[in-house]
Structure 1
Amino acid sequence: MAEMIWPLAGLFLISLSAATLLPGGSEAALLALAWLSTYSALTLLVVASTGNILGSILNYLLGRIALRFQDRVWFPASASQLEKAQNWFSRWGYWAVLLAWMPLIGDPITVAAGVLRMGFGLFLLLVTISKTLRYMVVLGLFNLFA
């Protein structure tokens, strides 16, 4: 029984880290488990989505506390970059969080949502939709062509 949990734990951790600012490709791990294991697509979807959503929540929380340190030399964003992020959110609205699934821009969007004090309930809803739909598409295409 324990040997069945380790691959899912690995998928969870890879999905979580892929949603943070760390590099990672959770889709490859998801597809590998879909191909090599007997786990149901629903199990894989829930595990990957949960890890990825929790990684985005971590980004959001980091964004919430980040402004406390904006006057420090080591702070990674300048005042102009913060203003740019705020303008971008003002232009596109909080619906931009639906793009959290996208490579390169998705993770900074979730951090910016925290920095700009987006309501957590709406953030969680939009991130859950975004991340889960992405994995549903990946698994759907896999099942279509496998």
Structure 2
Amino acid sequence: MISLFWVALLSATLLPGSSEVWLARQWCLDQPALTLWAVATAGNTLGSLVNVALGRYARRFQDRRWFPASAAQLARAERWYQRVGEASLLLSWLPIIGDPLTVMAGVLRLAWWRALAWIVVAKGARYALILVLASSWLGPYC
């Protein structure tokens, strides 16, 4: 169980990882599904909150030459975020775009509790779906 937490946490940061495979493996080892869901959701949510914190911290360096986004790019991202809104964090579970969305939430100073609420819903729904799919597809093979 501890390994699932760490794999889920690291998978949610900018580091590569695949917590879904580890979750399915743990399910095949007859671990309780609700516990697996809670541990994976908690770890992955915490990892995404690390990204939010990195975004908040990185914003203070926006005037430096090495900062990865120009003032114009930040302004465009802020306009996009105002249009789309914080509900875009419901896509935080997606590969490739999910991590940057959580970093952007930090850069744009979304309140912690609001980021947490959206991310928990997104991550929890994904892991619930993975467990449902694992039980229907992997059941005979475990």
TM-score (norm 1): 0.89
Matched length? 138
- Match in the other structure for 2:116: 124
Partner deviation per Cα, 1:35-73 (whole Å, 9 max, x = no partner) = 1x1210111111111100000111111111111111223
Tell me the percent identity: 48
* 1:83 positional shift: 2.4
Q: Return the alpha-carbon distance in structure 1 between the equivalents of residues 77 and 2 of structure 2.
A: 34
Alignment of 1:1-146 (within 5 A): 8-35=1-28, 37-145=29-137, 146=139
Q: Return the alpha-carbon distance in structure 2 between the equivalents of residues 77 and 52 of structure 1.
A: 26
Q: Which stretch shifts more, 77-86 or 53-62?
A: 77-86
Q: Return the alpha-carbon distance in structure 2 between the equivalents of residues 136 and 90 of structure 1.
A: 30
Give SS of 2:92's match.
helix
**CA RMSD after TM alignment:** 1.2
Give SS of 1:85's match.
helix
Give unmatched runs, 5+ long, in structure 2: none
AA paired with 1:81? Answer: Q
Q: Return the alpha-carbon distance in structure 1 between the equivalents of residues 57 and 32 of structure 2.
A: 38
Give unmatched runs, 5+ long, in structure 1: 1-7
* 1:82 positional shift: 1.9
* 1:11 positional shift: 1.0
After TM superposition, where is structure 1 displaced by more than 4 Å over at least 4 residues in a row?
none
Q: Return the alpha-carbon distance in structure 2 between the equivalents of residues 22 and 80 of structure 1.
A: 27
TM-score (norm 2): 0.91
